[in-house]
Structure 1
Amino acid sequence: MRILIAPDSFKESLEALEVCCAIASGFRQIFSDANYTLLPMADGGEGTSAVLSYALGGRWKNVVVNDPLMRPITAKYLLLENKTAVIEIAQACGLHLLTSEERDPLITSSYGVGELIADALSEGAKRIIIGLGGSATNDAGLGMLMALGMRFYDDKGKPLTQGGSALANLKRIDNSKCHSKLLDTIFEVACDVTNPLCGSSGASVIFGPQKGGSSEQVALLDKALHRFATVSKQHGYPDCQNIAGAGAAGGLGFALMTFCAAHLTSGFETVAEAVRLEAHIANADLIITGEGRLDTQSAMGKVAGGISQLAKANGKPVIAICGSVDKLNTVQSTQFDVVMPSIQKIDTIDQIFKDAYSNVEATARNIAAAIKLGQDTT
């Protein structure tokens, strides 16, 4: 039996490769002679670089960049052999880099993302895959563009400061010192967020509060980002503010489309293509996937839902092992042959995270034992 194990990470508890190993360990206790392929997956957010490194190799590059509050930190990105760089923006401007007291979307900056891009360009990258997700910023890529040589001025001719609120005073954009290699580079943005830049479903309103923004700050930021889009259009740049994904990562999607001619695509599809997922599925007898929480949103660009669709298209059975499962009957009947939550008992969330590996392993073993029992009794 050829078994493909291709889960996403379990947030705050297990990396995708750890989930693979736990499932494989449980199944091997029953099917020791099966042929196992471990293929950790991601949907373009945190962990995408690690998944691609596992599947494709490459080398990691550590770079000292500025964090969202312009403090030096060490971030890393992945360089692949085909002059491709893989950058996760959370490495440089992630929400996890700040304490809850430090969160302030008025001033946080994406400058470090631009520094990572500049370093990748200096390494000869001709194609840059950028994973959007987990940002602490709401500056629509202002900081990133500054780090790449662009200059922004207010109506008095003074350079703008860092942070999304500064965009409220934007009057002029100067690209004369923009990085020379920027427009010769292909940018592919892995993004499953469909929000526009501004408005009731825009970056500021939807994501600003989780980044520390009050209702007054959110309103200010929404106007500031709209100002950025307006001035950009006046300077001859394409009008990208209403394109799906423009509001991703505090408006970084907008900046990458507008100033870098980036193409936004499904994060899952980007990773699936890179690791040749469909070929692995076609070669397997059984597919096992999973994620930390399986619910009705799993079909909307998430790993487990995407894998189930490919498995069904290829006529292959698919099992989902998850931390928790919401609305089991709906999820199971529409996507999977078997759905199984892995939590073994009611406990504190910290203990559940701590026991995640053993819980997934035990669940996988029990599923394998049920399959074996079915085989023995037919």
Structure 2
Amino acid sequence: AVALGVKFLDAQRKELPQGGAALADLVTLDMSGLDPRLGTVKIEVACDVQNLLCGPEGASAVYGPQKGANLEDISIMDSALNNFGEVLSRVANTNLLELVGGGAAGGLGAGLVGFLGAELRPGTQMILDITGADEKIKQADLVITGEGRTDFQTAYGKVPVGVAALAQKYSVPVLCISGDVEGSPDFLADLGVATCFSVAEGPTTLEEAFLKADEQLERAAWRILTVWKLAEECQLKKLRHS
């Protein structure tokens, strides 16, 4: 926002220093420096998560630990983002603290809506629309999707869940292949993903996993489809003997 001409001001109308924690001192925003042409542009944002800006499922609490933040850091950042959200909500005349996806990319979702009037759209849905996935899934017997890491964040609108939601319309089963699976993937069953498979074939370093990603992905797909083929053959045998 600063790069686009917005000024973040404290109680003395001095510009805040850079850094998320400084947002705790934000009192008002000077939007006069924004290029007026931005008001004539329709901005659609591909957003693949549903996290709010703040709170237990907000940007700081969910994504902070991934970036090395401890509990104290998370508390400071969440409070600062809450203040930022309140100030920007007043300026934009919309409640950004309740905006689904507002916590995406550390609060960028809320910022794009508040500063630029952008529309947040599910990123997965945008890609599914562009690729014509609806018609393809409609004709499929099985859908295999995937992501880099499957964990509790997957449920917040990431690719496997978006694909599964579409597949459920046509009662097509969905399996997921991931670089890593944290814990049991059973929670995905309620979201339409039957189960999830990791491509990892044993203890390995991250560097080794990257180097072997192609061949491990191919072998994981082969294992899944081999089991699928056996299941079909068993079903055919039952039909012949019925």
TM-score normalised by the chain length of structure 2: 0.74
Alpha-carbon contact 2:49-2:101 (below 8 Å) kept: yes
Unaligned runs of 5+ in 1: 1-144
- Residue correspondence of structure 1 range 226-265 to structure 2 within 5 A: 226-235=82-91, 237-265=93-121
Task: Please give the alpha-carbon distance, in whole angstroms, between the structure 2 residues aligned to 1:202 and 1:296.
Answer: 14
Alpha-carbon contact 1:193-1:245 (below 8 Å) kept: yes
Name the amino acid aligned to 2:222: R
Aligned residues: 233
Alpha-carbon contact 2:63-2:106 (below 8 Å) kept: yes
Task: Please give the alpha-carbon distance, in whole angstroms, between the structure 1 residues aligned to 2:52 and 2:162.
Answer: 24
Q: Which residue matches 1:221?
A: 77
SS of residue in 1 equivalent to 2:49: coil
Alpha-carbon contact 1:299-1:306 (below 8 Å) kept: no
- The answer to which structure, 1 or 2, has the higher relative contact order (CA under 8 A, 6+ apart) is 1
Task: Please give the alpha-carbon distance, in whole angstroms, between the structure 2 residues aligned to 1:282 and 1:250.
Answer: 36
Is residue 2:51 matched to residue 1:160? Answer: no
- Residue correspondence of structure 1 range 97-136 to structure 2 within 5 A: none
TM-score normalised by the chain length of structure 1: 0.51
Name the amino acid aligned to 1:170: L
SS of residue in 2 equivalent to 1:288: strand
Among candidates 156, 164, 185, match of residue 308 of structure 1 = 164
Is residue 2:149 matched to residue 1:290? Answer: no
Alpha-carbon contact 2:147-2:179 (below 8 Å) kept: yes
Alpha-carbon contact 1:296-1:331 (below 8 Å) kept: no
- Residue correspondence of structure 1 range 1-378 to structure 2 within 5 A: 145-235=1-91, 237-294=93-150, 298=154, 300-324=156-180, 326-327=183-184, 335=192, 340-344=197-201, 346-350=202-206, 351-369=208-226
Unaligned runs of 5+ in 2: 238-242
Task: Please give the alpha-carbon distance, in whole angstroms, between the structure 2 residues aligned to 1:328 and 1:258.
Answer: 36
- Deviation of the 1:178 alpha carbon: 0.8
Name the amino acid aligned to 2:104: A
Identical aligned residues as a percent: 37
Aligned CA-pair RMSD: 3.5
- Deviation of the 1:216 alpha carbon: 4.2
| Larger helix share, 1 or 2 | 2
Alpha-carbon contact 1:295-1:331 (below 8 Å) kept: no
1:100-157 alpha-carbon deviations (Å, 9 max, x no partner):
xxxxxxxxxxxxxxxxxxxxxxxxxxxxxxxxxxxxxxxxxxxxx1111222323333
1:151-196 alpha-carbon deviations (Å, 9 max, x no partner):
2323333222222233233333222221112222222233343333
